[in-house]
């Protein structure tokens, strides 16, 4: 025992020594980086307050921020709805259901899938994950693409909003429904005839052997994180282009009928307005003809910046480079035809 007490390394060597010693748990050489780091942050905030504030409060930047936030806030609930529906399809609906619900021949399944879009309230952001889930469950890609195009354009909420935005003009509602459904079916048939499997790889889905609710949550997290990032990218691009397009150009171009149709179609792509609200924007553009407004209503839910970003991120760049131009051209031509016949 005396040897233990004589050992200077033993805590029992000196009974008056503090146990544990003050040096335990402390770093050698006290450093004061935290106060200096906090002071640096304060200095940067003060400098930024006086140097960057005048630029951040510029009207153009405020308009850009408002448009970006509006696009994301407008689309996010419908994106979540679409992701939830897609996850429910993956987890709860057996693959055999789709073989019974749709005609076996793909050419006949395309118009049936297009008409199914009339009963599903949703935005174009919701249609992408739903179409992805349908393909993963065995639905022919052409039929899923027809549903993708028709769902945000002919569902009951969109048609009611169009009727409210154009009071006393029932033909505008009829034209929007007919033209949008015709474009969806035509695109589906053309993709069935000329599309290739390497252009549209079936999206991989998370599968598991656990409970259905666990697979539902896994699929929903997978799609929401994947699609949400591309929604933000598309919203940033849409807000930037929205601010950069001068309003004076629109009034001058509206005087040329055919040019007005193309301009309104391009404007629908750039503005990227949700299909539940685009009718009110189109109705406010009084300088344009009804046919040009119809083109705006048909093209917008099928081709816009955030939708292009979602499609490219979900199905691949090769798909978007072919699908987007095909849909845009058909939407413009069919809108002009329906406008000439009915409006």
For residue range 110-166, what is the model confidence (pLDDT) as tens digits? 999 888 877 765 566 667 877 887 887 778 889 989 988 998 888 887 888 888 889
Burial class of residue 273 (count of CB atoms within 10 Å of its CB; 0-12, 13-18, 19+): buried
pLDDT of residue 293 exceeding 60, the answer is yes
Residue 20's pLDDT is what? 54
The pLDDT of residue 337 is above 80: yes
- pLDDT > 90: percent of the chain: 21
Q: How far is CA 311 from the centre of its chain?
A: 9
What pLDDT does residue 204 have?
64
pTM (two decimals): 0.69
Alpha carbons within 13 angstroms on the beta-carbon side of residue 309 total 19
pLDDT at 3: 47
Residue range 158-167, pLDDT digits in tens:
888 888 889 9
Give the pLDDT band (50/70/90) at residue 170: very high
Q: Model confidence over 56-109: pLDDT tens digits?
A: 667 777 778 887 787 677 667 766 776 777 677 667 766 566 667 788 888 998
**By C-alpha distance, which of 83, 94, 95, 179 is closest to 131?**
83
Closest to 102 (Cα-Cα) out of 137, 131, 129, 139: 139
pLDDT above 80: residue 226: no
pLDDT score at 121: 57
Residue 44 is predicted with a pLDDT of: 73
Q: Comparing 2-16, 19-33, 138-152, 282-296, which segment has the lowest mean pLDDT?
A: 2-16
DSSP 138-184: T--HHHHHHHHHHHHHHSHHHHHHHHHHSTT-HHHHHHHHHHHHHHH
Alpha helices in the chain (DSSP H): 2-6, 33-51, 53-56, 59-92, 95-101, 106-116, 124-136, 141-154, 156-165, 170-194, 212-244, 247-253, 257-271, 278-284, 290-299, 305-315, 317-342
Compute the distance between CA of residue 137 and CA of residue 81 in angstroms, rounded to an integer.
19
Q: For 131, what's the count of Cα atoms within 13 Å in the CB-facing half-sphere? A: 32
Distance CA(297)–CA(278), nearest Å, equals 7
Work out the average pLDDT over 268-277: 79
**pLDDT average, residue stretch 217-222:** 74
Q: 142: buried, middle or exposed (CB in 10 Å: 19+, 13-18, 0-12)?
A: buried
**Whether the predicted pLDDT of 284 surpasses 60:** yes
């Amino acid at each position: 025992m005396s040897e233990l007490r004589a050992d200077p390394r033993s805590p029992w060597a000196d009974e008056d020594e503090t146990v544990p010693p003050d040096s335990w748990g402390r770093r050698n050489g006290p450093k004061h980086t935290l106060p200096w780091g906090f002071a640096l942050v304060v200095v940067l905030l003060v400098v930024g307050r006086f140097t960057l504030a005048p630029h951040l409060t510029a009207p153009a930047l405020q308009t850009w921020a408002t448009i970006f936030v509006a696009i994301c806030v407008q689309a996010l609930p419908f994106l979540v709805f679409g992701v939830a529906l897609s996850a429910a399809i993956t987890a709860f609906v057996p693959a055999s259901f789709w073989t019974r619900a749709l005609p076996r021949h793909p050419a006949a399944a395309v118009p049936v899938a297009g008409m199914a879009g009339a009963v599903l309230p949703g935005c174009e952001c919701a249609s992408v994950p739903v179409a992805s889930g349908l393909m993963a469950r065995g639905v022919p890609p052409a039929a899923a693409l027809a549903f993708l195009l028709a769902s945000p354009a002919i569902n009951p909420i969109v048609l009611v909003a169009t009727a409210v935005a154009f009071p006393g003009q029932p033909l505008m509602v009829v034209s929007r429904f007919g033209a949008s459904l015709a474009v969806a079916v035509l695109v589906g048939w053309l993709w069935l005839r000329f599309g290739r499997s390497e252009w549209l790889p079936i999206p991989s889905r998370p599968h598991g052997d656990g409970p259905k609710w666990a697979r539902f949550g896994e699929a929903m997290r997978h799609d929401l994180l994947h699609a949400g990032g591309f929604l933000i990218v598309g919203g940033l691009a849409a807000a930037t282009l929205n601010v950069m397009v001068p309003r004076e150009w629109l009034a001058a171009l509206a005087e040329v009928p055919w040019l007005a149709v193309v301009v309104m179609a391009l404007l629908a792509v750039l503005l990227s307005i949700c299909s539940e609200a685009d009718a009110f924007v189109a109705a406010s553009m009084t300088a344009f003809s009804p046919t040009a407004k119809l083109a705006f209503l048909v093209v917008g839910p099928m081709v816009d910046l955030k939708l292009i970003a979602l499609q490219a991120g979900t199905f691949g760049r090769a798909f978007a480079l072919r699908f987007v131009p095909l849909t845009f051209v058909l939407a413009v031509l069919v809108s002009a035809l329906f406008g000439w016949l009915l409006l």
